[in-house]
Chain A
């Protein structure tokens, strides 16, 4: 077993264990921390796969951005010390069963498929990515790039609108909901 392999399995173990802890840990804040580690482990995996750029993005966006937002929101919603409500054991059992059967299905599928691994070298330098990002011809990604930027813009605006409207239209909405329920009952 080479060091390369050992590193992979270590990273895999890290990712999976912290991931598992993150979805099972009753305390919300702790699970956010476990998520952080899991994401870092995934960034490590990208390094391992020689995709340094992705790894960097992973760290800066996920670890530096998303997880921080999540932690902020945990504080904002005063959930930091709280334990999440445990759900019905039957549903847990079903969820585990579903997850396992899904996993088995996927494993079988993957096992049955012959992946033809290419022997070419994987050269991922940043200028190449940058050029492809703005290129319009064959192998260019300028259109998806634009789409994603518009999506981001829309998301930002959406965030602001959602955050703004709630405080203004709160009573109305409640009324609306009530009237809707009444109609439904009728």
Chain B
């Protein structure tokens, strides 16, 4: 029997791998991928909690489903922005995307 904490370790590690990627990558697409990893690690947590701690309920499952839906939408929007950015600056380097500053 695997204790729930092991699954949590797994998800935490995955989360920080994602975080590392998010922080170190310069390319917007790879940053997006790191983000996906982080979202997935959260999903693992939700499912694990639901299964091991509150098997009678469905909250964790639903969170997972919604997160997946939102992630899909987010990925779509992000990709459209990235492509847009690419059209404007001919690059998708994160350093170029500083319009937010203004």
Contact = CB atoms under 8 A, between A and B. Distances in A.
B97 interface: no
A177 B10 contact: no
Interface string B20-38: 1101111101101110110
B3 to A, nearest CB: 8
Interface centre among A19, A57, A181 (most CB of B within 10 A): A19
B68 A159 contact: no
Interface SS, A side:
helix
Contact of A85 (B19, B52, B88, B93): B93
A167 B87 contact: yes
B20 A23 contact: yes
B23 A163 contact: no
Nearest to B75: A66
Contacts of B70: 148, 151
B92 A92 contact: no
Interface in B35-64: 36-37, 40, 43-44, 47-48, 50-58, 61-62, 64
B20 A117 contact: no
Interface residues of B, number: 74
Interface SS, B side:
helix
Contacts of B74: 155
Interface string A150-174: 0110011011001100110010010
Question: How many A residues touch the partner, as a band?
Answer: 35 or more
Given A8-B6, A23-B34, A74 B54 contact: no
Nearest to B40: A42
B16 A70 contact: no
Interface of B: 1-10, 12-21, 23-27, 29-30, 32-34, 36-37, 40, 43-44, 47-48, 50-58, 61-62, 64-66, 68-77, 79-84, 86-88, 92-93, 99, 102
A91 interface: yes
A186 interface: no
Contact of B99 (A110, A129, A177, A184): A177
A70 B32 contact: yes
Nearest to B84: A166
A12 to B, nearest CB: 5
B64 A54 contact: yes
A74 to B, nearest CB: 6
Contact of B24 (A53, A92, A124): A92
Contacts of B47: 46, 49, 51, 54
Contacts of A58: 43, 68
